[in-house]
């Protein structure tokens, strides 16, 4: 992300510009972190999207060939030209009463004409558009920074930065959690974590993820966090309604 003042490149966790030393607002930090997470999610989903498109094209091609082989895609015959209408015959003379009675006695009744069946008309109404969710959905995993083991039973508190209202979540045996938060127009939710055997400090999942780093690299990150105060920007979702928020806990020394 570029600095609005000098256009220098900045990392998602930089608190100020390394060139002009301009401090970043909380909104700018949150937007930078959200953009970094969205870019990482897009990179992860891209191979699956390409594979899905290839499978869809192959399935459509196979279905088209099967329909041709079974004769469902044969072209309709051209319509027949209209036949010329014959001249209207001259009106016949009115029959006499005896001949009418004789015809009634010998003629058979004409069969009833059944109207052609054109099939049922579709009455399916268009499905209503889905309404946008009223809440934000935040989910993720909490784990040990050094061993990468899930922090089962860890408790998270999401506190409204302005009103002080709190929303709580508890991790399952896999360290996973999920919480619904009311939408906010400003401010955000400050996050705190408590778990047995861990300090109250934590690190947000970055890029690359901690699981892709060596144990020495994770230990170095833990030592740096222990020597300086870790700044956490309150959670604020700008356009998305869902956020994956993974946290790495710092064990007691």
pLDDT at 167 over 70: yes
Q: Region 173-187: what's the mean pLDDT?
A: 93
Does pTM surpass 0.75? no
- Residue 77: predicted pLDDT: 65
pLDDT of 122 above 50? no
The residue that leads in pLDDT, 36 or 95, is: 36
> Per-residue confidence at 6, pLDDT binned at 50, 70, 90?
confident
Identity of the highest mean pLDDT range in 7-16, 38-47, 146-155: 146-155
Angstrom distance (rounded) from CA 10 to CA 15: 9
Average pLDDT over residues 103-125: 47
Whole-number pLDDT of residue 37 = 80
Q: Residue 213 phi/psi, 5° resolution?
A: -95, 160
Architecture of domain 133-251: Sandwich (2.60)
Residues 192-214, mean pLDDT to the nearest whole number = 89
Q: How confident is the model at residue 11 (pLDDT cuts 50, 70, 90)?
A: confident
The answer to whether residues 233 and 29 touch, using CB atoms and an 8 Å cutoff, is: yes
Q: Residue ranges of the domains in the chain?
A: 1-72, 133-251
More confident residue, 135 or 28: 135
Exposed / middle / buried, residue 248 (Cβ in 10 Å: 0-12, 13-18, 19+): buried
Q: What is the pLDDT of residues 56-70, one digit of tens each?
A: 888 888 888 877 787
Give me the chain's average pLDDT, please: 78
**Comparison of pLDDT for 12 and 222, the residue scoring more:** 222
Instruction: Grade residue 89 by pLDDT with cuts at 50, 70 and 90.
Output: low
Look at residue 226 and tell me whether its pLDDT is greater than 90: no
């Amino acid at each position: 992300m570029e600095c609005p003042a000098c256009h220098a490149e900045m990392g998602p966790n930089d608190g100020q510009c390394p060139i002009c030393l301009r401090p970043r607002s909380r909104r700018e930090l949150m937007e930078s972190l959200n953009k970094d997470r969205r870019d990482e999610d897009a990179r992860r989903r891209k191979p699956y999207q390409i594979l899905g498109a290839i499978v869809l094209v192959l399935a459509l091609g196979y279905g088209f060939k099967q329909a041709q082989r079974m004769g469902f895609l044969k072209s309709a015959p051209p319509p027949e030209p209209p036949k010329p209408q014959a001249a209207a015959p001259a009106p016949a003379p009115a029959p006499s009463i005896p001949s009418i009675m004789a015809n009634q006695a010998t003629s058979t009744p004409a069969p009833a004409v059944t109207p052609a069946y054109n099939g049922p008309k579709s009455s399916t109404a268009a499905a209503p558009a889905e309404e946008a969710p009223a809440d934000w959905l935040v989910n993720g995993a909490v784990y040990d920074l050094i061993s990468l083991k899930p922090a089962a039973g860890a408790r998270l508190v999401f506190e409204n930065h302005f009103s002080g209202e709190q929303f709580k979540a508890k991790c399952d045996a896999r360290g996973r959690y999920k919480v619904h938060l009311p939408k906010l127009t400003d401010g955000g939710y400050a996050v705190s974590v408590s778990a047995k055997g861990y300090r109250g400090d934590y690190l947000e999942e970055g890029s690359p993820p901690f699981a892709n780093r060596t144990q020495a690299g994770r230990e170095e990150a833990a030592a740096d966090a222990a020597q300086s105060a870790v700044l956490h920007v309150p959670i604020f979702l700008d356009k998305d309604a869902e956020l994956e928020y993974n946290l790495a806990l710092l064990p007691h020394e």
